[in-house]
Amino acid sequence: MAAAMESVGTRELAGKRAVVTGGSRGIGAAIVRRLLDAGAEVLTTARSKTGTVPEGAAFVEADVRTRAGAEAIAGAAGEALGGVDILVHNAGGARPFPSALAIPDEEWQDQLDLNYLASVRLDSLLVPGMRERRSGAVVHISSAAVPTSAPPFLHYTAAKAALENYSRGLALEVAPFGVRVNAVSPGRTATPGGEATRERWASINEGPGQDDTAPPLGREGRPEDIADAVLFLVSDRASWLTGRNLTVDGGEFPVG
């Protein structure tokens, strides 16, 4: 039994070609490493190479918030990989604001572009190829905080809520063509980006501080916790899963 358990996931993605956005640090880099370890060829992206791209992954500098950025990623994927079997939308983030009414229009638009429309645009370029080949897996990274609609990040959770709705609809559309679409919603995860966001919120928050109580499972998430969920969803082990949202948060947030 032990040997059988050890073999699960070993090179299970051999021959697969994957694109991961925002893969130079944090959760994205952990996802890239997991896919590489499982045998996939991986192209990852970031607006700039500020982190450390995992060894073995191809890289393209592109801004996913724009149509031009999406086209650059799709073009690089065609050149480096020859096609895409796995697409993971990880790029995202937000600046906190003390009040929903204080969020300027340009910030709302930036959040929609980064956390919602970036996925829509890139999907429109890469999913048709999956549909033609009648095979593929897409994962949209959302947030476990979506049901709470927390005021400091209302623009972020609103964009992610739209992403989740779109993800379910796309899943229904492409399922007859053998393409699976799912979402992963991380909770509080120990990453440089997450820590910077919490520090920014602490510096502007004039009310009660954020709840520092650990999730019910007793710790913050690790990037690898999220990467493991993504690896499962893009693998054949999840071949009968589509249109779902897997919350990975140590039990911290309500579901639904």
Active site positions, annotated: 156
Long-range contact list for 167-170, CB < 8 A, 24+ apart? 167/119, 167/140, 167/142, 167/243, 167/245, 168/243, 168/245, 170/123, 170/127, 170/138
Element (H, E) at 31: helix 26-37
Q: What is the DSSP string of 99-115?
A: -GGG--HHHHHHHHIII
Q: Position of tokens 């919603």?
A: 185
Q: Are strands 86-89 and 17-21 parallel, antiparallel or unpaired?
A: parallel
Nearest-CA neighbor of 242 among 176, 198, 147? 176
